[in-house]
Amino acid sequence: MESWLVVVSILFPIICSLLFLLLRSPVIRNSIVIAASAVLILTSLGFAYFFGQASIDLHDILGIELNEIVAVLDFALLAYIIYVGIRLHSRIITILALAQLIPLAYFELTYREALQRSGALFHLDGLSIIMVLIISIIGSLIAVFSIGYMKKHEEHLKLEKSRQPVFFFVIFLFLGAMNGLVLADNLLWMFFFWEVTTLCSFLLIAHDKTEESIKNAKRALWINLLGGVGFLAGIILIFGKTGGVLVSGLLEGNNVPSELVLLPVAFLCFAAFTKSAQLPFQSWLLGAMVAPTPVSALLHSSTMVKAGVYLVVRFSPVLAGTHLGFMVALAGAFTFAVTSAIAISQSNAKRVLAYSTIANLGLIIACAGIGSPVAVGAAILLIIFHAVSKGLMFLCVGTIEQEIGSRDIEDMDGIMKKMPFTATVAAIGAISMLLPPFGVLVSKWLAIEAAVRMPVVLILIVIGSAFTLVFWTKWIGKLLAVNYIKKIPREKLHPTVRSTLGILLVIVLAASMGIVFLFNFFVSPQFAGITEERIMGGRGLLEIAGDGVIGSFAYFPIFIVLGALALSIPFILRKVSPEKVRQPYFCGENCEIEGNIGFRAEADTETPSAFRNYYLRWAFSEETLGFWASMISAILIIVLFVVSI
Amino acid sequence: MIQTLIIVILIIIAAPIIGGILSGIDRIITARMQNRVGPPILQPFYDFFKLIGKENIIVNRFQMLYVLGYLVLMITSLVLFVLKQDLLMIIFIMAFGGVSLILGGLSVQSPYSRIGSHREILQMLAYEPVLIFMVVGIYLQTGSFTVQSVFDMNQPLIYSLPLIFIALLYVLTIKLRKSPFDFSTSHHGHQELVKGMLTEFSGPQLALVELAHWYELVLILGFIVLFWATNIYIGIAIALASFVLEMFIDNISARMTWKWMIWVTWSLGIGLCIANIALLY
């Protein structure tokens, strides 16, 4: 059964994506998108249903060795990237692709037989199933959202010929490749899917074909290719030291001492840092937001950047308790603190989200680097909660942007009046990133406990958390600001847009409420093989598994309190009668200017009321922090390699 | 179960009475320091009942929601504190309460209210790390985040966390919005921001804000009690002494700028915390 699920979750989206290229009718395409999404979601739920640790060997299909197929596809992919590099006149892309192609060719040809013998090709466990669920559910929902979004997007761009076939082709290819990446046990397979996601993100970022989008796509491509080179180096070194390329063989055999593979794992972490846009590689993810918003949602929540953190979490047993692990944790925590600070200075909503993504990935990497069960538990939970909340936030921002024509937070002042549904959903999404009892904060709470034995990491996490409070709160304030209005209007939205926002919101709430279930079902089995002495500060973990209690903290009462508060909203709204409404105080006479509130200033001039948020640019801007942060993080990465030699 | 319920009901009733009386004492002592007679000790309660009986004037429909959020979450965190639950989570829930009030201030289109709210955000930026470091310090001593674990200790926490205690006293001034850190709700005679974040709350809303603040006051003093939890009476005495100290500081200092606040809190406050944590290793 599991092997069928694996095949469907990888091949089915890829077959669908090819269909999109062939069938160009929008109606058929949209129905396939919805149907394919349903199949993908059901498949991923099938994984959860048949959950268990399993290794699946799909050695050959119809007599053709799968390893051979992947090797051939890998060469084709790299050749295509070289072609892209030449066509775009980008020397660095060509060189980096060659730097993968030549060693890979040498490696595959020299050790052909040994590589073919490598056994189980897919491995299922809690982590990979969590990833499949995230990719398939969130990714599919984003694809469905794109139906309505891309329609409006292309109307806005006034394209003569729709480019949606290519768009959906890449999106589904991406989802299939991501599923492959997280399920693959063979590092060479993982590498192939890794490079497919790199190429897909390049194609998606370049989708609008503007000068800026192509420039940013090129940058994304070369930074990720650099990571790819690191990945390949890691694989070759692992093969050289252990004679195998299977992740499970490396982690579970217990016959490989972790000192032996530290250097290759350092290379893999380097690859993960590029893919997860950690400092100093953050620029590609920031540039990626020129793409249509569903692309950003996809890159930031369920795919691409999550591949990087997945890799680090996957190898966290090797990292635990080593100097390399400490450096990885330090680099991640540093990214978390600095990018959270920079987010304060940003008024572009998508940039705020991007920095917040980088920060959260940093936190995940920090936890994975610590490597204790509590820490890894926190990392996996963060992957889940960040994916759902961030996916929702991007879709909300995209919806708002299409309506008001701006992604600036300042322009979202009073958005509640025009788009009450989207604004409320966005505000809840933001709250779920920040406050208790939502999952992101509970994971952060675990992260603090996990980091207690590493004071430097801990300090960075605590300080970074304080920064996140600032930029989220002032944004939520803008979203929810509203004058008195007699009747709250109903907002017009494309049905796919409204339904995906609604479903994602439900998932955000349900995931947070079900955190104990998620933890017990998917996360704690990860630690089954870990011996007692490797548990550092593990008290919280043991307490987590209790009934309905997270740590030593009774969790549900908070939801009940918030639920009661939410139930009071209709009552509060109903009680208001218009004659009790006053204008805000302006220290002078109020007046109304085109429906907005204003006041009479000097010489009776009518002045509209305006208030800009604090951005504290003197302290937190990219200009003041960016350079030094990049320098320090580059040094951290160099040290990371040095300590692992 | 029944016992827990009784404790919960008791604290929900008792906390605002204690908080209100403390505010009354605050006002009398402050008045004496300013050569005034001051109001009767029960004046905060008179004010509260006067406000709650007033007409509910609003600027937008949602203000009451934020005020209720502030109140309910403060009560929740205090109840969890009394039930000796997880301290870190209590601080996070308290932060949610604070954020709720800030969102209320930001939700109206008044520049006074919004500037005040932004200043309150910066105040949170200043004190949150210190509070979290306090909990981390406790964790390093007890191996747990729970309030219970502090009460299970053999010796007072203040012996091992003296520097964190000083930092806590320092952020207490910010948390209570007292001079020199009363930017977000500046009143006390200097009116240039009207009443900051609270400008657009009136009548029953303001009464509930005041009520929530009393719960908050009791909870914060509870944090100080933790530092001498082996004998709770000494703990309470220290908490009350700290409260009186806050009044002195409030009256002898002029308001500083928020940049100064962040600078000093982050260097001195966090510095003290880190030094203390370093001592524990």
pLDDT tier, A476 (very low <50, low <70, confident <90, very high otherwise): very high
Say whether pLDDT at B58 is over 90. no
Q: Do the Cβ atoms of A390 and A300 come closer than 8 Å?
A: yes
Strand order in the sheet with A590-593: A590-593, A596-600, A606-608
What does the pLDDT read at residue A602? 81
pLDDT tier, A534 (very low <50, low <70, confident <90, very high otherwise): very low
Q: What is the rounded CA–CA span in Å between residue A179 and residue A154?
A: 29
What does the pLDDT read at residue A185? 87
Q: What is the rounded CA–CA span in Å between residue B273 and residue B258?
A: 21
Q: What is the rounded CA–CA span in Å between residue A356 and residue A393?
A: 11
Q: What is the rounded CA–CA span in Å between residue A356 and residue A377?
A: 20
Helix H segments across A455-514? 455-480, 495-513
What does the pLDDT read at residue A253? 55
Looking at chain B, which residue has its C-alpha nearest residue A476?
Answer: B103
Q: Which of A469, A484, A551 sits opposite B60 (nearest CB)?
A: A484
Partners of A469 on chain B (C-beta within 8 Å) are 95, 99, 121, 124-125, 128
Q: How far is A314 from chain B (nearest CA, A)?
A: 28
ipTM surpassing 0.90: yes
Percent above pLDDT 90 for chain B: 50
What does the pLDDT read at residue A61? 61
Which amino acid is present at A471?
F
Partners of B275 on chain A (C-beta within 8 Å) are none
C-alpha separations of B251 from A31, A229, B29 in Å: 70, 64, 10
Say whether pLDDT at A385 is over 50. yes
Segment B112-164, tens digit of pLDDT = 888 889 989 999 999 999 999 999 999 888 888 888 888 888 888 888 899 99
What does the pLDDT read at residue B189? 44
Q: What is the rounded CA–CA span in Å between residue A540 and residue A552?
A: 7
Asked whether the beta carbons of residue A462 and residue B133 sit closer than 8 angstroms, the reply is yes
What does the pLDDT read at residue B191? 52
Partners of A434 on chain B (C-beta within 8 Å) are 99
Say whether pLDDT at A192 is over 90. yes
What does the pLDDT read at residue B194? 65
Q: What average pLDDT does range A464-479 have in this prediction?
A: 93
- Distance of alpha carbon A624 from its chain centroid, rounded? 26
Looking at chain B, which residue has its C-alpha nearest residue A596?
Answer: B109
Q: What average pLDDT does range A469-497 have in this prediction?
A: 86
Q: What average pLDDT does range A173-201 have in this prediction?
A: 92
Q: Do the Cβ atoms of A169 and A21 come closer than 8 Å?
A: yes
Q: Which of A441, A476, A575 sits opposite B103 (nearest CB)?
A: A476
What does the pLDDT read at residue A64? 66
Q: Which of A557, A565, A609 sits opposite B69 (nearest CB)?
A: A565
Segment A298-322, tens digit of pLDDT = 999 989 999 999 999 999 888 888 8
Asked whether the beta carbons of residue A435 and residue B95 sit closer than 8 angstroms, the reply is yes
Beta strands in A268-402 (DSSP E): none
Which amino acid is present at A562?
L
Q: How far is A277 from chain B (nearest CA, A)?
A: 26
Phi, psi torsion values for B114, nearest 5 degrees: -75, -40
Asked whether the beta carbons of residue A585 and residue B112 sit closer than 8 angstroms, the reply is yes
Looking at chain B, which residue has its C-alpha nearest residue A448?
Answer: B136
What does the pLDDT read at residue A536? 34
Asked whether the beta carbons of residue A561 and residue B73 sit closer than 8 angstroms, the reply is yes
Strand (E) or helix (H) holding A14 = helix A2-22
Asked whether the beta carbons of residue A572 and residue B108 sit closer than 8 angstroms, the reply is no
Segment A106-119, tens digit of pLDDT = 988 888 777 777 66
Segment A541-586, tens digit of pLDDT = 444 433 334 444 456 778 888 888 888 888 887 767 778 888 888 7
The torsion angle over the Cα atoms of residues B141, B143, B148 and B154, rounded to 10 degrees, is -40
Say whether pLDDT at A251 is over 80. no
Segment B225-278, tens digit of pLDDT = 999 988 889 999 999 999 999 888 888 887 778 888 888 888 899 999 999 988
